[in-house]
Structure 1
């Protein structure tokens, strides 16, 4: 049994960045990845970058087939770049295979050619990510028309009639994308209303814009059965508990979330604890219940964003080579973006959350139509909302539903982290025409509420 200083299971954002850093400190690193198609992790191969590439191509009028081809070229280039980033380091060994724990610090790795290698890790970092959840609906898993968020981006032909199960953020992004390419899209969601966490005025505007784009919604849905008829999927559901509806589709996309990828690790052979959803339980420093074993990124549950995985790397780096002052509970201000048209972004409190918490606030609100750059972009849909603490003038939260919101939300998040009063954004000199200059007008005067 060979002993390795650092074993990293999974080639994701946090793991690959940690591998590179440790190697540059002169430490031995073994990186294990089960698929050559996943070098670089979820983000560059099957999630953030390829999906956003397709979303952008759709708005530019590119055909679906050409967009998929271009996406594949991009991901192939990124995959090779990420592989070389680690393979070029003398202290890093990359091993293709599936890792199974045989003890707290020992693993077997089964390679594609049938070999098994056994290792002991002084430190082990689990970075295996998450996988798509396929709901337990009769006939769904067996359906030849089923897609998940990965396979949806590899279709050779644009679906004509697409049913999306799940009206969360992933479902909305794909609905917007496929509808823009030209698919007839219907979203089925079991919740009684879409976007329940968003403020009502924001949610209503998003839903109306989706309707205007030809996207249909059915909420409060209970899907009874999925079958096949005349080379189409037949979806039968109720949305009032009694009335039964049947619709047809040539593709079904299950967009009901993702769950931590831990099953293949055989953690039952260790003292590593997981929760009821299979997520590895960690403390504030990403330690698992076994000393010198950490969990990074989606596999530990919580927000599933590549930038969270990158920050996980920073926490571990600070523990091993810094002052050990970074931890998960620092991450109170984390912006999020939903890449629909226009983008929906958020950081801190929504108005709904502030009211629930009894938090006093000033509300600043303006329509996107008042922004000159929105007129230049020929898209004046949306609105901007920011909540400010009246006692400190500090920003409590923001919801921006406007073109390029995914860029300017970072400015708001930075102001919140740095405890900069909102007047600084109000009085800043911005380039023109830009979406960011909207802060000059947004913060002029709070609205009555």
Structure 2
């Protein structure tokens, strides 16, 4: 049985980056991945990269088949690059197969060629997350009922696309496929669309989607599903709905069920997420968990920061923790993009904060006129006492770039006036921050008379 200083289960962002770093530091490392199609992890193969490539091509009038071919070539290139980045390191061994725990230091590897075992001083779990299919009669994965990964492997554009679930994944695919030309209907059990967002932001998103041709059916419970050879029928209290393909976008859960964590004594919560401390250690001292498998925010950049935290423990000063994370931004790559950071207006008011709320229509931004996309709005929440930015929502073209500027200011604890008075290039979407924050009324403190 081969022994390693580190065994990493999963080829995701955190795992692959850690394997390379430890290998270069002279550690003997094994990284185990159950699928050759997943070298590089979720982002490269079935997440960020392929979806954003399709979002781009959907806006450039690219034929769907051509867009899928380009997506496949981009993914294949990056997957191969990620594999070679590790396989070419002398100290790192890439092992194909499914890993499960025998005990806290020993893994069983189940591969096509047979079963083997390995042991390691330290083990790092980076198995990501998997799609959830709700318990609805007749709802099971197949050629016409797919999760987000299945959507990325469609051979032809569905004329009628149904999306079960009105969250961010559903919204992103709805916008993308409507742009390609599908007749899209989004079904959600919730009475309010995108309830996590402020009402004005969710209303603006809904308007944009509807202008793209997306139909949104709220308060809709799917009672059962019938899948035929050329269509899928959703049976609801409001009547039957027929589509060609049904995307199930009802959430994702940590991929831990097949790891046999109980054999190692690794604790999980009720959702199957691995319990970790602020340095990502599990209930077993020499086992860590990184990325989506911990049940935290499912973003590639969080996985990268997980790597930094663990690497700092192993070969650094041991100071980094998850407590260092503040103001985590996110973007939903509908068209135009929704980008958010910090508190919503509703959250700030619930906390009893003394705030000002300002907004700006995208129609007021010169760059938006130049690129001929004036849809959306910008919104900011500012603390009247500290003059610091509490939260921002940007529903606008290129907002996924602009939100990072806001994060830098918020993390530094700087006042909103930094963005109000900043010198930006022109014409850009970034300079809209000047106009957005210029609307904040200066608040005199009592000591200032």
**Partner of 1:298 in structure 2?**
292
Following TM superposition, by how much is the alpha carbon of 1:144 offset from its aligned partner in structure 2, in angstroms? Answer: 4.2
The equivalent residue for 1:202 is 201
Specify the alignment match of 2:383 in structure 1: 389
What displacement does 1:143 show?
5.4
Change (3 A) 1:230 1:18: closer
Pick aligned residue for 2:242 from 235, 245, 248: 248
C-alpha distance after superposition, 1:201-246 (max 9, x if no partner): 11111101111111111111111111145732111112xxxxx311
Match of 2:370 among 365, 376, 384: 376
The whole-number CA distance in structure 2 between the counterparts of 1:76 and 1:395 is: 41
- Give the Å deviation of 1:429: 1.0
1-side partners of 2:308 and 2:10: how far apart? 17
Aligned partner of 2:263 in structure 1 is 269
Once residues 439 and 164 of structure 2 are traced to their aligned partners in structure 1, the CA distance between those partners, rounded to angstroms, is: 42
1:210-289 correspondence to structure 2 within 5 Å: 210-228=209-227, 231-238=230-237, 244-289=238-283
Q: Which residue of 2 aligns with 1:151?
A: 150
Distance 1:53 1:144 in 2: 23
Other-structure match for 1:82: 82
Aligned residues: 442
RMSD, matched Cα: 1.3
SS at match of 1:399: strand
How far apart are the structure 1 equivalents of 2:35 and 2:183?
34
Corresponding position of 2:100: 100
- The SS at the match of 1:265 is coil
- Contact residue 165 and residue 254 of structure 1 kept, 8 A: yes
| TM-score of the two chains, using structure 1 as the length reference | 0.96
On the 8 A contact 1:363/1:447 being kept in 2, the answer is: no
For residues 153 and 24 of structure 1, the distance between their equivalents in structure 2, rounded to whole angstroms, comes to 34
Partner SS, residue 103 of structure 2 = coil
Q: Is the contact made by 2:8 and 2:124 (CA closer than 8 Å) also made in structure 1?
A: yes
Asked if residue 132 in structure 1 is aligned to residue 131 in structure 2, the reply is yes
What's the secondary structure of 2:258's corresponding residue? Answer: helix
CA contact (8 A) 2:190 2:218 kept: yes
CA–CA distance in 2 between the matches of 1:150 and 1:113?
A: 27
Give the corresponding residue for 2:409: 415
Q: CA deviation at 1:330?
A: 1.7
Q: CA separation in 1, counterparts of 2:392 and 2:205?
A: 16
Q: Return the alpha-carbon distance in structure 2 between the equivalents of residues 314 and 70 of structure 1.
A: 32
| Cα displacement string for residues 35-82 of structure 1 (whole angstroms, at most 9, x for unaligned residues) | 110000000000011001001100101011110000000000000000
String of CA shifts for 1:293-351, please: whole Å, max 9, x gaps.
Answer: 00000011111000000000010111112222211122121000000111101101110
Residue in 2 that maps onto 1:47: 47
The alpha carbon displacement at 1:395 in A equals 1.0
What runs of 5+ residues in structure 2 fail to find an aligned partner? Answer: 443-449
Cα distance, 1:323–1:143 mapped onto 2, change above 3 Å? closer
Change (3 A) 1:85 1:144: closer
Aligned-partner Cα distance in 2 for 1:229–1:419? 57
- Contact 2:402/2:430 (<8 A) preserved: yes
Q: Quote how far apart the aligned CAs of 1:364 are.
A: 2.4
- Larger mean CA deviation between 136-145 and 320-329 belongs to 136-145
